[in-house]
């Protein structure tokens, strides 16, 4: 073994202060375990990732010697250790090369298309919100809101949380945004939604989904549960609660022990309660992750009274480079392990589904990075990506 490691996704602004509450930090009564792991193409069970749950490994972060020792190809120099940020940088490069050279879309680009995700989920029997209307241009939104008392407005193609509005109707020409609690006349709503479409340059295609409810949260909107999943194994889970002054966050390991990862230090809220059924969330995340046949994807879910529901697939989560060195190395080992799992083709092309041909134009290029943008917005609500 080597020595310790060296030090090295929303509408509305604001943040919540860090608080502590021992009762809220407690794991669910039945602490779920990680999934059994994927099965290789040869039909045998793949070896498990060689690291324990993050809370345990964080206390003594040492890598197996064979993951970090010098080897002959490096001429007695020390190779770079596992890094999630470096692995994701390479994955993004490969995706761009595939689009430019092969003229095909990898899963990381297909997953930005909500119609593709809907079709993919349904084909595998995964629970997902229903689509009430769409796709339609933003200017037609008032027509599709007629007769609807509630729903979630979303852009069809998106790379962050902007433009997502869970709503209830408050009048013939007015709705309430459940995220910020404000009421909007339809004219003001159209103006507010046009701004992120211009800023992030996503196509003018929108839809309305079924509003999922959770009476246990202050807004009535379910918390987001975002599982960092690798080939059927979950390494970390991020909880996001929205409303009031802004989003609040809390990380857990796969045993539902609260952990610090370096992300969202200023907006972490230790008082957020754990899920009611953590085992069901882990099971859904593992099932979706294994079915994707890519090394990594963040599986974004909601917990409802009837069980967990798949929200989004996020192969390139915003701020993946913001984990501290220990968490970055931990996730990097998981990524390396997933890349070696037999039967995973990486970013292989996946044909688009036949049921929504009009919603599968060539994915628009990513806009230039905005240095003034909130880096946390990439980990916005479940119906988002970044």
| Per-position pLDDT tens, the chain of length 386 | 444 343 334 333 333 333 334 333 444 444 444 444 555 444 555 678 889 999 999 999 988 877 777 778 887 788 888 999 999 999 999 999 999 999 999 988 898 888 889 899 999 999 999 889 989 999 999 999 999 999 999 988 765 677 889 999 999 999 999 988 899 999 999 999 998 888 878 889 999 999 998 878 878 889 999 999 999 999 999 999 987 778 999 999 999 999 999 999 999 999 999 999 999 999 999 999 999 978 999 999 999 888 999 999 999 999 999 999 999 999 999 999 998 875 544 433 344 444 443 333 444 444 433 333 443 444 433 333 33
CATH number at residue 231: 3.30.470.20
> What gap in Å lies between CA 307 and CA 321, rounded to an integer?
32
Same domain, 321 and 185: no
Which helix (H) or strand (E) segment is 233 a member of? strand 233-241
**Structural domain contains residue 362:** no
Domain span including residue 157: 131-209
Do 196 and 267 belong to one domain? no
Residue 152 and residue 230 in one domain: no
3-class DSSP assignment, residue 165: strand
Identify whether residues 255 and 342 lie together within a single domain: yes
Q: Could you give the C-alpha distances from 293 to 121, 129, 349, in angstroms and in order?
A: 14, 23, 11
* Helix (H), strand (E) at residue 206: strand 206-209
Residue 358 burial by Cβ neighbours in a 10 Å radius (0-12, 13-18, 19+): exposed
Is 327 contained in some domain? yes
Q: Helix (H, G, I), strand (E, B), or coil: what is residue 314?
A: strand
Residue in this structure with the two tokens 């809101």, named with its chain if needed = 145
User: Do the beta carbons of residue 374 and residue 126 sit within 8 Å?
Assistant: no
Domain boundary among 169, 188, 209: 209
Q: What is the per-residue pLDDT for 73? A: 84
Residue 2 lies in a domain: no
Q: In this structure, what token pair is assigned to residue 232?
A: 């059927």
Residues 339 and 230 in one domain: yes
How many domains would you assign to the chain? 2
Q: Is residue 356 part of a domain?
A: no
Q: Does the residue 269 lie in any domain?
A: yes
Domain boundary among 162, 183, 209: 209
123 and 136 share one domain: no
The last residue of a domain, from among 180, 209, 238: 209
Q: Is residue 36 part of a domain?
A: yes
Q: Is residue 170 part of a domain?
A: yes
> Same structural domain for residues 228 and 185?
no
């Amino acid at each position: 073994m080597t020595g310790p490691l060296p030090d090295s996704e929303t509408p509305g602004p604001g943040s919540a202060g860090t608080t502590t509450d021992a009762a809220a930090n407690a794991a669910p009564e039945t602490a779920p375990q990680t999934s059994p792991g994927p099965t290789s193409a040869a039909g045998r069970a793949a070896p498990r990732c060689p690291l324990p749950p993050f809370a345990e490994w964080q206390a003594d972060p040492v890598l197996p010697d064979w993951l970090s020792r010098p080897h002959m190809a490096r001429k007695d120099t020390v190779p770079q250790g596992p890094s999630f940020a470096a692995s994701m940088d390479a994955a993004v490069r490969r995706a761009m090369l595939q689009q430019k050279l092969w003229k095909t879309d990898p899963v990381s680009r297909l997953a930005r298309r909500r119609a593709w995700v809907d079709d993919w989920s349904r084909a595998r029997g995964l629970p997902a919100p229903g689509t009430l209307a769409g796709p339609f241009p933003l200017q037609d939104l008032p027509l599709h809101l007629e007769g609807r008392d509630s729903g979630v407005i979303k852009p069809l193609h998106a790379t962050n949380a902007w433009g997502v509005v869970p709503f209830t109707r408050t009048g013939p020409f007015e709705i309430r945004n459940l995220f910020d609690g404000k009421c909007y006349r339809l004219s003001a709503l159209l103006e507010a939604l046009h701004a992120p479409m211009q800023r992030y340059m996503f196509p003018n295609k929108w839809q309305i989904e079924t509003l999922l409810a959770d009476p246990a949260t202050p807004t009535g909107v379910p918390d987001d549960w975002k599982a960092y999943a690798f080939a059927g194994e979950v390494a970390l889970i991020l909880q996001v609660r929205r409303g009031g002054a802004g989003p609040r966050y809390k990380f857990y390991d796969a045993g539902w022990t609260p952990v610090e990862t370096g992300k969202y230090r200023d907006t972490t809220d230790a008082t957020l309660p754990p899920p009611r059924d953590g085992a069901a969330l882990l099971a859904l995340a593992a099932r979706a992750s294994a079915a994707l046949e890519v090394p990594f994807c963040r599986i974004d879910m909601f917990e409802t009274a009837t069980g967990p529901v798949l929200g989004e697939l996020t192969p390139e989560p915003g701020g993946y480079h913001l984990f501290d060195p220990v968490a970055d190395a931990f996730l990097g080992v998981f990524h390396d392990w997933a890349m070696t799992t037999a039967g995973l083709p990486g970013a292989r092309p996946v044909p688009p589904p036949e049921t929504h041909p009009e919603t599968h134009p060539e994915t628009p290029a990513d806009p230039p990075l905005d240095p003034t943008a909130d880096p946390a917005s990439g980990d916005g609500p479940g119906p988002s990506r970044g």
